[in-house]
Chains A and B, each alone.
Chain A
Amino acid sequence: MSEGNTPYSTPGGSPVERFAEGTAAHTVPQGESPERLGWIWKIVNALLFLGVTVMLLSVGAQVLTRYLGVSLTWTEELTRLVFQSMMFLGMAAGFRTVAHPRVALLVARGPTWVKKASAHVYAVVGAAFFIVLMGMAWRLVMQQINSGESTPSLGVNMYLISIVLLGSAALALLAHIQTVYFSKEMRRAIEEGEITA
């Protein structure tokens, strides 16, 4: 995809593109030291791969078996549970490439000190949100372990899904720290406001 005719291109495409190119086997951008804790994100990618595949096959099986008159009765529930988990993981992984939509108008036009400050604001506000979310998700996990909430068809304990949310909040927190303080490239991207999506 060519971006050459827009003033918003950066050499080598946006980080989203660079990331996308390296998803299957994550490659290190030139001039950057290898990503710390890269193995964590490899696991996240593997889970996303597995989860989306399961959703696809489960919905497919739902259509096929109903058509054949022998409906599987757990497909809807399975799809929904996996979907919930995947969306939280995907949300967290989005922070690794600073892919979440922002209004970068003021930041991108501002003087250097505004740009510098905006990266810290980005990190601090994001961290605050995900730390609160982690704390509250933890309480929910405890509540659900205590109440024994489980799904009607597969009997999956609901605290497992809340643990995914908890883990995703932790991953998002990690991604904030990595992008702002350990990746020159991502840091610049945040300061320039170039990746608003």
Chain B
Amino acid sequence: MSLTLLVIFVILFLLGVPLAVSLGVGVIGTMLIYDIPLNLLPQMMLSSMNSFLLVAVPLFVLAGSVMAGGGISDRIFSAAQVLFGRYRGGLGHVNIVASAVFGGISGSSVADVVSLGKIEIKAMTDRKYPRAYAAATTMATSTLSSVIPPSILIIIAASTAGVSVGAALAGGLGPAAVLIVVLMVVNYIVSVRKNYGEVTRTRFKRGLGVVLASIPALGGPVVILVGMFGGAFTPTEAAAIAVFYSLLVGAFVYRDMKWRDMPKMIVDAGLTSGTILFIAMVANVATYIFTIDGLPARVSDWVLSMTTSPIIVMLLMGLILVFIGTVMDIVAAILLTIPVLMPAALAAGVDPIHFVVFLVASLSIGLVTPPVGVALFATSYVSKLPMEVIVRAAVPHYTVMFVALAILAVFPELITWPAELLTDR
């Protein structure tokens, strides 16, 4: 069943049919062949979008447009250029840090790409980074949003696995730190070797002005972080707050905001999100087929037949999870793989918190990996570059992210240490 689905899917997308349609026709074909009621199709599409969490996607898209239209992002990245522009790859580093901060808020790789990504790519290309490299950096850094607390995905994974949510959230700091380090190293090396990005020095007085002007813009994340950790609103609600704050600053502080642009921004937010989430709608139906086919169970049996060394088991699982992350909706993937893969991991002696956090990190890397990463689509969408161009530019990023995964597989302390430090586990 799973094989039929995947074969139809691959043939169609190689013929240039949109990926979501290819997957959808793969699903329909499989249902017809194996006599599964087609009623499933509209019902699962409806239930995939019956989610308050996903509401953050259009709202963050809108926040991104308002920040761009209201002159907020310009000021942030001008200030960043003043502060970091003297270093090779400075804006690339800013891109990474921005995702750690904003992405940490949105908790969603896709939201990170569609809101911040557009701004980041523009800022980087304006300062003479190739568009493909800017897109690749933006895409790779979106993985941070899935692991930096508060990560909704880690909460779901920890509760599904029955481990401490607090410890797992804290454990997410491990992969976040490792990813930040390796991505910064890659950015530095690539920028230096290929001479990417403008190196500029600004005179102190002018620079001070630019930095001061960016303070209201930088107030956004501060307001959101304080409000969120202070309990005024939840991570999803933060998306709406981000829109309101950006509107206020853009309209009344910088006065760059043109109200007549608003309708277009609002319509685009709906259009962009619906287009990006189409794959999630169809993936929900595909999940049904993978489930009744027992695909995850077969994968797990196969893993344990290969080895029982915890390190090798984790390395293998990392590969499997990255693959699953590319073809399946991430929440569905969490729900499906934990019950099936976790017993195998525990049997091999892996720490449960280590497993849960590692699982989310692997799946989030799957989101940016071809052929079907949702965050990869989103990057392609906002950068208006073909996926293969981004993928080629991101080869160094993929390489180090896989190295990072391997490091996280081999050194459980990277995850269990912050978990123990920050909770009384």
Contact = CB atoms under 8 A, between A and B. Distances in A.
Interface of A: 1-3, 5-6, 8, 14, 16-17, 20, 23-24, 45, 48-49, 51-53, 55-56, 59-60, 62-63, 67, 76, 79-80, 83-84, 86-94, 99-108, 118, 121-122, 125-126, 128-129, 132-133, 135-137, 139-140, 161-162, 165-166, 190, 193-197
Interface in B226-247: 232-233, 236-237, 239-241, 243-244
Interface in B87-123: 122
B42 A102 contact: no
Interface in B310-325: none
User: What secondary structure prevails in chain B residues at the interface with A?
Assistant: helix
Contacts of B55: 55, 59, 79-80, 83
B253 interface: no
A23 B387 CA distance: 25
A115 to B, nearest CB: 9
Contacts of A162: 42, 46
B49 A84 contact: yes
A52 B380 CA distance: 23
Given A14-B384, A83-B49, A197-B377, A60 B267 contact: no
Interface in B1-57: 12-22, 24-25, 28, 38-39, 41-43, 45-46, 49-52, 54-55
B16 A140 contact: no
9 contacts: A63-B233, A63-B240, A80-B51, A83-B51, A86-B270, A94-B271, A129-B24, A193-B16, A196-B380
B28 A60 contact: no
B386 A122 contact: no
B274 A197 contact: no
Contacts of A125: 12, 15, 17, 21-22, 25
A172 B67 CA distance: 31
Given A63-B233, A94-B271, A8 B386 contact: yes
A137 B46 CA distance: 10
Nearest to B68: A1
A100 B59 contact: no
B131 interface: yes
Interface in B251-280: 260, 263-264, 266-275, 277-279
Q: Name the 10 nearest CB pairs between A and B, nearest first.
A: A90-B274, A94-B275, A197-B380, A48-B270, A100-B18, A59-B240, A107-B16, A91-B274, A197-B381, A137-B42
A76 B237 CA distance: 10
B250 interface: no
Contacts of A48: 266-267, 270-271
B422 interface: no
Interface of B: 12-22, 24-25, 28, 38-39, 41-43, 45-46, 49-52, 54-55, 58-59, 62, 122, 125, 130-132, 232-233, 236-237, 239-241, 243-244, 260, 263-264, 266-275, 277-279, 281, 371, 377, 380-381, 383-389
A158 to B, nearest CB: 8
A140 B275 contact: no
A132 B41 CA distance: 9
B266 A90 contact: no
Contacts of A17: 384
B270 A2 contact: no
Given A59-B55, A165-B45, A196 B267 contact: no
Interface centre among B25, B237, B260, B266 (most CB of A within 10 A): B266
Contacts of A6: 130-132, 385, 389
Contacts of B45: 88, 133, 165
Given A52-B266, A76-B52, A137-B42, A103 B274 contact: no
Contacts of B279: 101
A133 to B, nearest CB: 6
Contact of A23 (B49, B264, B386): B264
A63 to B, nearest CB: 5
Nearest to A164: B46
Interface centre among A92, A94, A137, A194 (most CB of B within 10 A): A94
Contacts of A14: 384
A55 B59 contact: yes
B384 A129 contact: no
A64 to B, nearest CB: 10
Given A83-B58, A139-B39, A99 B28 contact: no
Contacts of A193: 16, 386
A128 to B, nearest CB: 6
A101 B380 contact: yes
B271 to A, nearest CB: 5
B232 A197 contact: no
A99 B62 CA distance: 18
Contacts of B389: 6, 8
A90 B275 contact: yes
Contacts of A118: 15-16
